[in-house]
Amino acid sequence: MSDLLRRLRARGWRLTAQRRVIAEVLDGEHVHYTADEVHARAVELLPEISRASVYNTLGELVTLGEVTEVNTDGRVRRYDPNAHEAHQHLVCSGCGAIRDVRLTDDPLSALPEGERFGFQVAQATVTYYGRCPACVAANAAPGPPVG
């Protein structure tokens, strides 16, 4: 059983076939699937699993902090199982490819006190946009940007 399933059981989750399958789909590293991509892969393992269960489970995993929601294109939400290691994302504006990146400095330290306006600042997300080697080579047309 995966670490994730073990932690969920410790939290009192019922280990249903649907949840096992979703955990298995999310098991890879550096994976950033949309809910429908998770569903498509889950269906291969458990044909009768519903979209609603995928949305339910992903939402619960986000609430528990086991999965992070990321949105790199301003359109679709993606689900990142690499939630226990702080990291940021590098996105290809040609093909949409996403890479995890680690920064040298905590991005919070780049926000001066005078720019905090009394907020209790808790978190920062940084997304880098550029062209991946394949898209630079292919000189592909840029896709929709959106930060």
Partner DNA sequence: TCCTATATTGGACTCAGTCCAAGTCAAGAC
Partner DNA sequence: GTCTTGACTTGGACTGAGTCCAATATAGGA
Name which of 43 and 124 has its Cβ closer to Mn ion: 124
Beta bridge partners of 90: 99, 128
Given Zn ion, a copy of itself, Mn ion, none, residue 95, with its beta carbon under 5 to 8 Å by kind, binds Zn ion
69 belongs to the binding site for Mn ion (CB under 5 A):
no
Give the DSSP letter of residue 95.
T
Name which of 36 and 116 has its Cβ closer to DNA: 36
| CB 21 within 8 Å of CB 42 | yes
Alpha-carbon distances, residue 70 vs 12, 31, 81, 98, 137 (angstroms):
27, 11, 11, 11, 27
Residue type, 80: D
42 belongs to the binding site for Zn ion (CB under 5 A):
no
Measured at the alpha carbon of residue 146, what is the angle toward residues 77 and 75, in degrees to the nearest 5? Answer: 25
129 belongs to the binding site for a copy of itself (CB under 8 A):
yes
Residues 88, 90, 100, 131: which binds Mn ion (CB under 5 A)?
100
Name which of 18 and 68 has its Cβ closer to Mn ion: 68
**Angle, to 10 degrees, between the axis of helix 35-45 and the axis of helix 51-64?**
120
**Binders of a copy of itself among 82-111, rule CB under 8 A?**
88, 90, 92-93, 99, 101-105, 107-108, 110-111
**Site residues (CB under 5 A) for Mn ion?**
80, 82, 100
